Amino acid sequence: MFRSVGLDLVKHPYTDITSSVDYLKLLNNHKVDMVLDVGANIGQYASDLFKIGYTGKVVSFEPMSKEYEVLKKTAMSNINWIVAQQVAIGDYNGDVEINISENSVSSSILPLTDYVKEAAPATRYVSSEKVKMQTLSEAALTFIEKAQRPFLKIDVQGYEEKVLLGAANIMPKLQGVHLEFSLKPLYENESSFEDMFRLVKSFGFEPCYFIPHHTTDSMGRLLQMDGVFYRR
């Protein structure tokens, strides 16, 4: 019945339907035509983005070899989904070693804190991989030149500050930023929530939306949340 009138019925990717509606509304109202997906893993974020109705381009960046191969195959499902070369994104060009977590999505360049090892045992590191690293200013340059109003999403497990610092040259063109905050340090040398908040605002963005994670410790304390910022 739905398809007879040009509609499709799919399982919603978020537990709170207003999260996706508001998120898409912000993208559309700011006329975002390209999303730089840094820390794509196997493409979960981009897949959900297209499911909720986003019609612009997505450029995904992922450093881990196993996940990168899955990401490339998944991205073939959408002509607007581009996978950049396999590379970690940070604040310098060179090589870096990434720690691979048992649950993959918790993999990080930074070591885990003792706190998160106890609170979330599945985050433990099981291996590592040496990968190439580039600044986003360099890695995204050829893509961002083709966009009018690009948007940056970062999910790199405590390395968000380094990604932002390495994106300084392209930052003036970005219309918005979506990044993950830790309310309690989960990775060693991770910037605090307060410092990250100030850094994003210093680039000329203001907070527009926050998305709490389901990850809590034994006391019920929220460990992480996502913040969405747009140009003032």
**Positions in the chain whose pLDDT score sits under 50:** 12-18
| Predicted confidence (pLDDT) per residue in 192-213, tens digit | 999 999 999 999 999 999 988 7
In this predicted structure, what is the pLDDT of residue 215?
Answer: 66
| Predicted confidence (pLDDT) per residue in 67-97, tens digit | 999 999 999 999 999 999 999 999 999 999 9
In the chain, the domains with their CATH numbers are 3-89+136-231 (3.40.50.150)
In this predicted structure, what is the pLDDT of residue 12?
Answer: 45
For the chain, what percent of residues have pLDDT higher than 90? Answer: 77
The strand order across the sheet containing 34-38 reads 81-83, 57-61, 34-38, 150-154, 176-182, 224-231, 205-212
* E strand spans, the chain: 34-38, 57-61, 81-83, 88-90, 94-101, 125-135, 150-154, 176-182, 205-212, 224-231
pTM, rounded to two decimals: 0.89
